[in-house]
Structure 1
């Protein structure tokens, strides 16, 4: 049996012990709830989501499809599924948002999937990178990436560099396990061997013991995944201080040289190799426009994968608003987003009509110093890449 959004909203009000308000005429403004960490060690994600989303609306003259946009921000603080679910229920029931966006951590996104499905609220994932997320609700779309998407081409490249033995070292939660599985599967197909798999607790701050295991493994390289922020800095610091580069253990990663933290690494980051879908140094008119729009809003904001995920997420929401005339119609909005193509600051992209995940170029990047600044220099494009993870799970 299908339920209308109004019926589900009424049920949610009842569950919360609140009276159901009479139906209101469609408001002229569009309400967009942005969910992410705005406090704590991962607060930079929330700030980058806010900058990217607001800069996009400003770049469109302050309105989307002729409609005012009202952003409502909610702070998860970090990986906190229970609190995230409560916040999203409040956004749907009390604030009556038309669209949702954000979500840094996979457990938080998975926790709200039933609410999204029941309320038929189009929800754009700006970051959370586990492949299975978009399968949990047909109203999820993603404008970030998945670990399978960026890792498979990196594993293929590593094999072509005559690397035969690699250690994987990942944070022990959804995206990390995806990263480990993707690298191990593809590197094995290419004839390589993962000699050891290391899983690191998400709350760890001491990476020395893990790096020592890598050094003792006899591997030629380490493939790593860590959530952005303090873990990246800690791991790279331990990698350098324990002499892995000097020992010939090559660093392979994805977002570990994120622009938000890059200058903090110092020259020890030069030469670190990653495969990713975006670099702040990407050369294109669309990226130039994006960077200028961010700087116009805030001179200190960083163009990175979080801010571009929010910018592109708002582009998708913009097209859904156009298609629905600003009215609440989840099915019509999703139909407009499926197969959507545009020129992103990262390059040409497309929302896959089946998976609702973004297909995009993945680039091999090496950290270089340009003047006084470290940059992720794109040295090779692997071309358009889908999400390989969903096929791998079948």
Structure 2
């Protein structure tokens, strides 16, 4: 009888261990899957599913269930409610996504209380990671890509510039970063223009830029229709012809790039990713995306989601699949890997990705417009948290 009982206990222990090993990991991804910014939701989903498919659906030996939730766009209260439902009702182990800064900020108290590791795929205001110790960011910040842009503009002989940004937190970050660095070097921002997020008519703003006497304009706009509208106004109102150079970040995003036509040729941006990046890791990323969806697009949002899943993968591995937020975050602080964008690492102090920033110029290649990387500024930290 003792042998039978002992054998039963041993068998039960093995079964429990196997069950624990096979426990399904739940990941909640929040983003806009409807409305004017719905393309971000598709970019996220295509990339997340492609990453999982490239690992046969398992991360560190565990099945992964992804629960997608639609916040429709800038919607802090709705985003907080969705996150609360995912954490409390669905009992997710990890959260990811977040396109807009206010949405990410809204969930900070919740993830701190629940100790839920949360990976930001896009939202780009510097101080987001300061709002909760459970935030990790795999995207970028405006300070990170703007400081190198200001340095490059000054190096090109620019001494008078205008900043034109969408008037919300990331835009203010971009404006402040450019003005601070450009002034430190000896340049002058002769006018700082803030445009409402709902703006569709950019003609009055580009006329102010044209009349400013500046040698160039540094631009920040959210992805989507605003990029097309601003570039169209930039060309139609003669800024290019007047010698006022365009310098931006994500304004020539691959999602919209082919829609610009020749209007985009020669536009210059400083950014951390181009689909034209020449590396095996990037080619494998693009191949995985195309395997997932024929119309999948490799851009900054999809690479942020891909690397976000890579970080979640490593956190699952480090914790053995157990729910241990503190241990997961501690493991993430030490990460470095070869991303489709180049070598990256997580800054242990800020929990933000350190990465190369590239100067890119729009060119034609094989009949398609591409963001050609023409200079590598090297690894850049988040200057916004070191100012």
Report what 2:368 is aligned to. Answer: 373
- Between the aligned partners of 2:376 and 2:196, the Cα distance in structure 1 is 32
Task: State the TM-score, normalized to the length of structure 2.
Answer: 0.94
Report what 1:226 is aligned to. Answer: 221
CA 1:26–1:117 in 2, change beyond 3 Å: closer, same or farther?
farther
Does the CA-based 8 Å contact 2:22-2:61 persist in structure 1? no
Runs of 4+ more than 4 Å apart: 24-27
Query: CA offset at residue 372 of structure 1?
Result: 1.2
Does the CA-based 8 Å contact 2:22-2:62 persist in structure 1? no
Report what 1:141 is aligned to. Answer: 136
Report what 1:358 is aligned to. Answer: 353
Query: CA offset at residue 371 of structure 1?
Result: 2.2
The superposition leaves residues 248-276 of structure 1 with CA deviations (integer Å, 9 ceiling, x where unpaired) of: 01000000000000000001100000000
Report what 1:187 is aligned to. Answer: 182
- Between the aligned partners of 1:228 and 1:26, the Cα distance in structure 2 is 41
Report what 2:302 is aligned to. Answer: 307
The superposition leaves residues 172-229 of structure 1 with CA deviations (integer Å, 9 ceiling, x where unpaired) of: 0010000000000001111110000000001111111101100111111000000001
Report what 1:8 is aligned to. Answer: none
SS of residue matched to 1:151 = helix
Match of 1:61 among 56, 60, 78: 56
SS of residue matched to 2:223 = coil
- Between the aligned partners of 2:290 and 2:87, the Cα distance in structure 1 is 32
Instruction: Tell whether 2:32 aligns with 1:37.
Output: yes
SS of residue matched to 2:311 = helix
Report what 2:91 is aligned to. Answer: 96
- Between the aligned partners of 2:224 and 2:205, the Cα distance in structure 1 is 18
* Cα RMSD, aligned residues only: 1.1
- Between the aligned partners of 1:307 and 1:341, the Cα distance in structure 2 is 19
- Between the aligned partners of 2:334 and 2:172, the Cα distance in structure 1 is 29
Report what 1:332 is aligned to. Answer: 327
Instruction: Tell whether 2:380 aligns with 1:382.
Output: no
- Between the aligned partners of 1:179 and 1:27, the Cα distance in structure 2 is 45
Query: CA offset at residue 299 of structure 1?
Result: 1.4
Q: Please list every run of 5 or more consecutive structure 2 residues that lacks an aligned counterpart in the other structure.
A: 1-18
Does the CA-based 8 Å contact 2:272-2:356 persist in structure 1? yes
Does the CA-based 8 Å contact 2:43-2:301 persist in structure 1? yes
SS of residue matched to 1:260 = coil
Query: CA offset at residue 26 of structure 1?
Result: 9.0
- Between the aligned partners of 1:336 and 1:179, the Cα distance in structure 2 is 31
- Between the aligned partners of 1:339 and 1:278, the Cα distance in structure 2 is 22
Report what 1:164 is aligned to. Answer: 159
Report what 2:268 is aligned to. Answer: 273
Report what 2:15 is aligned to. Answer: none
Does the CA-based 8 Å contact 1:167-1:219 persist in structure 2? yes
Query: CA offset at residue 110 of structure 1?
Result: 0.4
CA 1:25–1:350 in 2, change beyond 3 Å: closer, same or farther?
closer
Match of 1:245 among 240, 243, 246: 240
Task: State the TM-score, normalized to the length of structure 1.
Answer: 0.93
The superposition leaves residues 288-311 of structure 1 with CA deviations (integer Å, 9 ceiling, x where unpaired) of: 000000001111111000000000
The superposition leaves residues 326-367 of structure 1 with CA deviations (integer Å, 9 ceiling, x where unpaired) of: 110001101110020000000000001110000000000000
Q: Quick check: which has more Rg, 1 or 2?
A: 2
- Between the aligned partners of 1:61 and 1:91, the Cα distance in structure 2 is 25
- Between the aligned partners of 2:350 and 2:331, the Cα distance in structure 1 is 14
Does the CA-based 8 Å contact 1:320-1:334 persist in structure 2? yes
Does the CA-based 8 Å contact 2:193-2:205 persist in structure 1? yes
